[in-house]
Amino acid sequence: MRIADERKQVETETGFNSDSVEIWNLFTRLFLEWRRSIERNLGSNSIKPVEIKILKVLEERGETPVAVIADRVGVTSPWVTASVNRLVQKGLARKIRSESDKRVTRVSITPNGIVYLNRMKEFYTSIIRNAFDSLTEEERKSLTRVLIKIEESLRSQF
């Protein structure tokens, strides 16, 4: 069976446009390649994306309660607690118990955390720049329009 015939069969059987599935698979591969690139370049010094988000929140807000971090990052408080514990072990953040309410833990970024976060920003910027340098300005604008359209479509579904 030819590829074109296989695509038509998939579209008929599933109701999916196979081009759309192929594009979605490409998004997945791009994301995985991005993660691999980070891991290759950072190795064991790498921290998880959620931990980088936590450091960004701490840099912006200063000393912050775990519950507020969870809300800002979009994960649960237990998830933030586990992530903060890893950041504390690496010397990138510190935990402070509230004097008035022992149930509340506040977190702040350390000087090493600020240095690390700045290095990560530079590193991510270089990866992004390298990924998009081969595109013309018009191609970047077109891609941006298409991605915004996909994002809006996904948001409107749920």
Q: Give the residue-averaged pLDDT of 61-81.
A: 96
Position 93 scores a pLDDT of: 98
Position 100 scores a pLDDT of: 83
pLDDT, tens only, 108-145: 999 999 999 999 889 888 888 988 999 999 999 999 99
Q: Which fold has domain 47-157?
A: Arc Repressor Mutant, subunit A (1.10.10)
- How far apart, in Å, are the Cα atoms of 116 and each of 54, 109, 111, 140, 158? 13, 10, 9, 30, 36
- How far apart, in Å, are the Cα atoms of 138 and each of 60, 125, 141, 145? 33, 20, 5, 11
| Report field, pTM of the whole predicted structure over 0.75 | no
Q: Single out the residue of 63, 59, 66 nearest to residue 104, CA to CA.
A: 66
pLDDT, tens only, 6-21: 656 656 666 666 788 8
Contact 108, 63 (CB under 8 A): yes
pLDDT, tens only, 24-42: 889 899 988 888 887 777 7
